[in-house]
Amino acid sequence: MAEVAEGVSPSKAVAVAVSLGLVAHQIFRRYETYNIIVHAALLFGPPTLLTAFTLPSEWSLLYGAFVLFSTYLATLAASIVIYRLSPLHPLARYPGPIGCKISKLYLGAICIPGYQHKYIQALHNRYGDVVRIGPNDLSIRDASRINPLMGASGVPKGPHFIGRMLSATGLPMVAIQDTDVHLRRRKLWQRGMSPSAIKEYEHFIARRARQLLDRMGEQKGEITIGNWFNYFTYDFMSDMAFGGGSELLDAGHDEGNVWALLDDAMFIATFFGHLPWLGVYIGKIPAATGNLSILLNRCVECATARVKKGSEKKDLFHYLNQEDLPNLPPPPMQQLIDDGVLAIIAGADTTSSALTSLVYCLLMHPDVYDKLQAEVDKFYPSGEDAMDTKHHREMPYLNAVINEVLRVYPPVPGGSQRQVPPDGQGVLVGDLYLPPGTIFWCHIYSTHHDPRNFTDPSSFWPERWLIASEDPSLAPSDPAARGLDKTTLVHNETGFLPFSTGPMNCVGKTLAMQEMRMVVCALLQRYKIRARDGWDGGNFESEYRDYFTAPRPEVPVVLETRA
């Protein structure tokens, strides 16, 4: 080695380390990968080789390794930071905080308390409709750009689910970035969420909804109604997806810490969603992610048991496993497991969030409560089966209330992440140009609360949906209309996307709406809901958080059986 190193000066060795650091940055920038071996080779391979073959004779091995490794890694880091802040960066024209431009670690830290939806809204209020929230990430608030970016010819899914699932390979349908593969996988879900399939699920909903009402009525004094919605949605999704296996309603508590696991897992997954590469790293360490790994493993067990048991009823897995097409081979087991995870996490959490927010809004707006109660009593008087869906289309106020809840408190405040393919062409929408590799969100919370889309956007006001309706008979004529009519009301439904939009939107939208309508009608038919004495509900807004899904503040209520 001494012969090889002869003549290599310290300054030349350092210069080579600097040069290799700059080259490594270009490789990282051009070729995105989640392969840990490739990352390790690029981070530690060059300085290791430098130490082995260009070590100056006057340096000891330990000192030389320290200098060359430090120089190489410092150059790599400095090059990355300078480039991301420089006018040479493809997103340099878009404003945003310096911390966000430098690293996604910044937004990852911001998301920990759960207020990233408020933070991003504040960024839009400060910087405008397009804000840079990461080195290669944008948040977009302009409703006119939603359809071109997410519609029929829209941009593929982004990589944040790689971090959330701790893997770059085992991904549910909603996370697949290849659009063709995504849409092929989606066909199974579309069969499982077709009108005929959802008709089959109605008895699942009805059975669990009756159980929900009975169990709540058995409680003495106040109840935290959001907890009971949690039990209902999880039991129903277990029935609908896996043919059963959960009895939280019967237990009357979070048996097995299902929801504690889910809430903790979403908190962990949100951080790693901002840093997918780190999620892949941590996923290789047993037990390093705690409850997220436990939750994923539990979903694996449910999916495996369901496939082994076979189809007893036409549940979701009846379609995902192609049991309705016996001449076709079943999908790979890993695919079923990945989609089973999606069914539980996306299906249970979001609907429970919306139902809890709806009860909160009714309690805080007695006039809305009275109007909705009157409509429910009209179509579902005492003795009428409140689980029968035949009247739902005739209930405009029920649908207006649900829409308004989803607008003010969207269960997924951030929305669906998308990424312009790194190896493709850039995307041009008006004066907005997204270079190849750009990741972006059409931020739901900011768009829903934009006064250019909705009059008085922070106010809960279901009448806006009636005034905007094409049916003039639905427009309210009472003082709650606030003196507005269809010509003066700002109501841009292009900016309403609680279920996302386009061909890759939420495949479970119809089922979720059916659940909410059935539960609300049955709940208001049987019970009068009042807030716990002394509860003012003022902390709901401040405790409403965003961990991709939205953990709910407690809503303590007392139920009184109606005559």
Binding-site residues: 506
Rounded Cα distance, 244 and 181, in Å: 29
Q: How far is CA 114 from CA 445, 543, 548, in A?
A: 14, 9, 9
Beta strands 439-442 and 137-140: pairing type?
parallel
Phi and psi of 454, rounded to 5°? -140, 130
Rounded Cα distance, 349 and 106, in Å: 27
- Record the tokens describing residue 272, joined without a space: 């790693």
Rounded Cα distance, 169 and 167, in Å: 5
Structure-derived torsion over alpha carbons of residues 302, 308, 311, 315, reported in degrees to the nearest 10: 20
Name the residue with tokens 């009525």: 217
Scanning 365-438, the segments in alpha helix (DSSP H) are 366-379, 396-408
Residue 21: CA count within 13 A, CB half-sphere: 21
Rounded Cα distance, 298 and 17, in Å: 47
Indicate the annotated binding residues for heme: 506
The total number of residues shown for the chain amounts to 563
Three-state DSSP at 495 gives helix
- Record the tokens describing residue 170, joined without a space: 């085992």
